[in-house]
Structure formats: C-alpha cells, structure tokens
Amino acid sequence: MISLNRILKLRDLEIFHVLKNGNILSFVVIEDTRNPFTEEDKKLEPLCYMDEEDINKILNVFRISLINDEKLNEEDSILLRSYFSDFVNNTNLTNFIIEEFNERNWIYLSQD
C-alpha cells in the first residue's frame, strides 16, 4: 500500500513524498511548465513517432519527475507512473511527461 504526503504546493510546482509499506519509495515533483513541448521533449518516445502538427497543438506540458536514490524496480516504476499520470487533466491542449530525475540536475556540494 502506498501513502502520499504533499510536502510543497506552489502555483506551478508540487512536491510529494511517497511511502510504500512505511518505507520511502520516492519523491515526486509535478511542474506545470505553462509551455508547449520543447524541441528536446519532442525527441522522447512516444513523441518522436507522433505527427509534428499533433505535437504542436499541445500548449501546456506538465513535467512529472520521479526522484529516488536507488533505481525503482519495474513494478514500483509502473505503479508511480500510472498513479501520477492520473493527476494531470489531459485535454487536447494539455499533456505530460514522466521521467526519472536526471542526475545531471543535482547540485554537488563540496566541503573544501
């Protein structure tokens, strides 16, 4: 069983803490970009297979990032992806992208 705690709610950003059986499973960040897909987004599957005209009709993209210290197993990954995909109100003008948080985005601190 999973439980969900909203840690932060701002106008365009929400952060959730997800527990499974009392253990931390992941943090999830949902960002309302208020923008269409970027050129980089359009290279991702399944967008890369879609018609450019259909992609350009999307005016608002939500970015959902799964953040965890260890790679999720397939079952947990599918669980989180399906759960959080229901958070976004999909319309013909709105869509979302779910991705694991990219390690390049972490800020590394040193104690020099």
Task: Kindly state whether residue 71 falls inside one of the protein's structural domains.
Answer: yes
The radius of gyration computed from the CA coordinates of the chain, to the nearest angstrom, equals 15
Task: Kindly state whether residue 112 falls inside one of the protein's structural domains.
Answer: no
Predicted local distance difference test score (pLDDT) of residue 28? 94
- Per the CB < 8 A criterion, the answer to whether 83 and 49 are in contact is no
Strand ranges (E), the chain:
2-9, 13-20, 23-32, 60-67, 94-100
Q: Tens of pLDDT along 13-41? A: 999 999 999 888 999 999 999 999 999 99
What range defines the domain where residue 98 resides? 2-102
Task: Kindly state whether residue 110 falls inside one of the protein's structural domains.
Answer: no
- Quick one: which of 87, 66, 89 has its CA closest to 78? 66
